[in-house]
Amino acid sequence: MKTKKNIWLGFHNKSRSERIKILKENSFLNDEFSENLLNNVTLPCDIAEKISENNIGTLALPLGIAPNFLINGEKYTVPMVIEEPSVIAACSYAAKMISSSGGFYAEILNRKMTGQVILYNIENIEKAFENVLNYKEIILNTANEAYPSIVKRGGGAEDIRAEIFYDDNTSFLSVYLTVDVKEAMGANIINSMLEGIKSLLEKITGGICLMTILSNYADKSLVTSSCEIDIKFLSNDINVAVNIAKKIELASKFAKIDIYRAATHNKGIFNGIDAVVIAVGNDWRAIEAGGHAYAASSGKYKGLTTWTFDEKNLKLKGMLTLPMPIASVGGSIGLNPSVKAAFNILKNPDAKTLACIIVSVGLAQNLAALKALVTKGIQKGHMKLQAKSLALSVGAIGSEVEILAQKLTEAKHINLENAKKLLKEIRKKLRKIE
Ligand code: HMG
C-alpha cells in the first residue's frame, strides 16, 4: 500500500511561494486566497480608513502557519500573526509531539457573554436587589427587544443576576445580564441590550445608572483543551524523558505559587493565543483581559496551565482552561483579505471550533516553552531563530543575512554587539573575494 506523503516534512526550509503552493495543492487555500497571499494582498487603505480613525496607512506583521494540530480528531493548520521569532516553530514542534500522542481534546464548557448595569444612590439596596430578581422576565424581554436580530438567530438575553458592593460610603448594585451571542463576540449586542434596560433598572431600583458595559471577564465562555503525551516524544532516552516530564510538572506547580513566574508563564501561553486571535481578525485585548482575569479568579494570580506526570503510564498530561469569547463573524473579519485567508486555512470553523483551536495553541506553546526552559534553556532555540532578525537589524542585506545568521548561531553570544562585529568581518571577506 502507498503511504501518504507528509507534506510538512521540511516545510520550514521551503520558500514562501513553495509553502503557499503546498497549502493550495493540499486544499488548505483556494485559488483566490493563494493568489492574494502570493501577491501579498493585505488590507486596502480605503477599507482601513473606514475601520479606525485618523488613518494614515496600515502596519504589516508576519503571517505564518503552524501545522500538525490534531484537535478532537480533526487535523488543523493554524495561521499565526506574530513579530516574535520561535513562537510558530515552538507551536509546530509541540503540536507535532501532542498529535503523535493522540492529539488535543478540547471542549467548550459554555459560550455566553456577560454585561453589567452598575447602579448607585439607591435608598433601599436590599429591596432593589429583590426587585431586580422579581422583574427578571420583564428585564430579559426588554433586553431582547433592544436587539431582536440575535433572538431571530436563536440567541439573546437568557439570565439576570445581581450583586451588592459596598465602598467606604457608597453602595452599588451591579446587575449582570447573560446573553447567548451565537457566532459573534457580542460587544455591540450586549452594549445595546444594556442601554435598552438601563432606564427600566433605574425605575425598578430607584437608583442612578453609573454605567452600562459588557464584561471582558468571560467566565461563561470557558474552553478547556487537554492532552496526554507519550513521554518518548520528549526524549529518545527514557530516563531523560522522565526527568523532563517531572520538571515540566514542577514548572507548572511553581507558576501557580509565584506571581513573577506566573506572569511569564502566561505570557508564553498568550504568545500562541494572541497570534491566532490576530490572524482571525478578533479583538486580542479582550481575550488577554479575560485570560488574565481568569488567572486571578481564585484571588491570586496563577499560571493558567496544569501539567502532571503519570509516572505509571509514562504520560505527561496537560490542561488549559480559559475564557475564549472568539467570533467567526462581525467586526473587521470579513473586510481584511489576510483574515479571510486565515479562515480559509482553518477550513472556516464556527466560533466554538475556533475557540477550541486557539486554546489548544496556547497549551502547545506552553509545552514547548516549558520543555525548552527545563532542558537546554530558552536562549538556544529562541536565539537561533532570532538570528535572522538580528542580522537584518544590524543592516545585513542579501546573502549577508543567511551568512551572518549562521555565524551568530555558532557564536558564544547572540547579541547586537557581536552581530555588528561579525557583519564587518563578513563584509571584509566578501570584498576580498570580489
Ligand atoms: P529543536 O528541537 O531545535 O527543533 O527546537 P528541531 O530543529 O529538531 O525541529 C523540531 C520541530 O520544531 C520541527 O519539526 C518543526 O515542527 C519545529 P520538523 O518540521 O523538522 O519535522 N521547527 C520549526 N518550525 C518552523 N520554522 C523553524 C523551525 N525549527 C523547528 N525554523 C524550537 C527548536 C524553537 C522548536 C524549540 O527550541 C522550542 O520550542 N523553544 C521554545 C521557544 C519559545 O517558547 N519561544 C517563545 C518566545 S520565548 C517567550 O517569550 C516565552 C517564555 O518566556 C514563556 C515562559 O517562560 O513560559 C519562554
In sequence order, what DSSP letters do the residues of 155-217 get, joined into one string? -EEEEEEEEEEE-SS-EEEEEEEEEE-TTS--HHHHHHHHHHHHHHHHHHH--EEEEEEE-S-
Residues 104 and 231 in one domain: yes
Q: Are residues 320 and 243 in the same domain?
A: yes
Which residue's C-alpha comes closest to atom 16 of ligand 1? 93
87 lines ligand 1 (CB under 6 A): yes
Distance CA 353, CA 106 (A): 9
Residue 70 lies in a domain: yes
Same domain, 28 and 59: yes
Query: Nearest C-alpha to atom 36 of ligand 1 is from which residue?
Result: 381
Which protein residue's CA is at the shortest distance from atom 28 of ligand 1? 89
The arithmetic mean of pLDDT across residues 313-339, rounded, is: 92
Q: Note whether 235 and 90 are same-domain residues.
A: yes
Residues 187 and 321 occupy one common structural domain: no
Regarding whether 182 and 131 lie in a shared domain, the answer is yes
Q: Is 123 a catalytic residue?
A: no
Is the predicted pLDDT of residue 124 greater than 80, yes or no? yes
pLDDT value for 169:
86
* Total domain count, the chain: 3
Q: Whose CA is nearest to atom 49 of ligand 1?
A: 268
Q: CB-side exposure of 41: number of CA atoms within 13 Å? A: 16
Are 269 and 345 part of one and the same domain?
Answer: yes
304 lies in the same domain as 226: yes
* 262 and 367 fall within a common domain: yes
Q: Residue 129, class by beta-carbon neighbours within 10 Å (0-12 exposed, 13-18 middle, 19+ buried)?
A: middle
Q: How far is 303 from 262, CA to CA, in rounded Å?
A: 4
What pLDDT digit, counting tens, does each position of 73-107 carry? 999 999 999 999 999 999 999 999 999 999 999 99
- In our burial notation (b when 16+ CB lie closer than 10 A, e otherwise), range 184-211 reads bbbbebbbebbbbbbebbbebbebebee
Share of the chain above pLDDT 90, in %: 83
Ranking 29-33, 124-128, 168-172 by mean pLDDT, the lowest is 168-172
Examine the fold and report which residue of 376, 391, 424 is the final residue of a domain before the chain moves on.
376
Residue 8 within any structural domain of the chain: no
Q: Which of 166, 195, 214 is the last residue of a domain?
A: 214
pLDDT attached to residue 4: 63
Which CATH number fits the domain that encloses residue 144? 3.30.70.420
SS3 112: coil
> Does some domain include residue 5?
no
* Residue 1 maps to a domain: no
**Of the candidates 207, 201, 202, which has an alpha carbon nearest to the alpha carbon of residue 122?**
207
Catalytic residue among 283, 371, 400, 407: 283
Q: Do 387 and 367 belong to one domain? A: no
Phi, psi of 79 (to 5 degrees): -75, 140
Banded model confidence at residue 1, pLDDT cuts 50, 70, 90:
very low
Same domain, yes or no: 150 and 274: no
Torsion 124-129-131-135 (CA) sign: positive
What average pLDDT does range 290-294 have in this prediction? 98
- Selection from 212, 276, 247, 341 nearest residue 80 by Cα: 276
pLDDT 10s digits, 219-232: 999 999 999 999 99
For residue 66, being part of any structural domain is answered with yes
Mean pLDDT, the chain, integer: 94
pLDDT at 299 over 80: yes
- Is the pLDDT at 429 greater than 70? The verdict is yes
Whether the per-residue pLDDT at 433 is higher than 90: the answer is: no
Domain that holds residue 120: 113-214
Predicted confidence (pLDDT) per residue in 54-78, tens digit: 999 999 999 999 999 999 999 999 9
Distance 105 CA to ligand 1 centre (A): 22
Same domain, 189 and 316: no
The helix/strand/coil state of 67 is: strand
- Assigned domain for 236 exists: yes
Average pLDDT on 364-382 reads: 91
CA angle 149, 155, 156 (to 5 degrees): 75
- Run of H or E residues at 100: helix 87-100
Cα dihedral 372/374/376/381 (nearest 10): 20
248 CB within 6 A, ligand 1: no
Residue of 49, 84, 159, 202 marked catalytic: 84
Domain holding 245: CATH number? 3.90.770.10
Does residue 6 belong to any structural domain of this protein? Answer: no
Domain stop point among 329, 347, 376: 376
Q: What is the pLDDT of residues 381-411, one digit of tens each?
A: 777 778 888 898 899 998 898 899 889 888 8
Question: Domain containing 387 — which CATH number?
Answer: 1.10.8.660
Degrees (nearest 5) of the Cα angle 36, 83, 258? Answer: 140
The answer, yes or no, to whether residue 239 has pLDDT greater than 70, is yes
For the question of residue 382 being annotated catalytic, the response is yes
Phi, psi of 234 (to 5 degrees): -85, -30
Helix (H) or strand (E) holding 79: strand 74-81
pLDDT score, position 384: 74
Determine the atom of ligand 1 nearest the C-alpha atom of 265.
57
Q: Tell whether ligand 1 has an atom less than 6 A from the beta carbon of residue 368.
A: yes
Is the Cβ–Cβ distance between 202 and 186 less than 8 Å? no
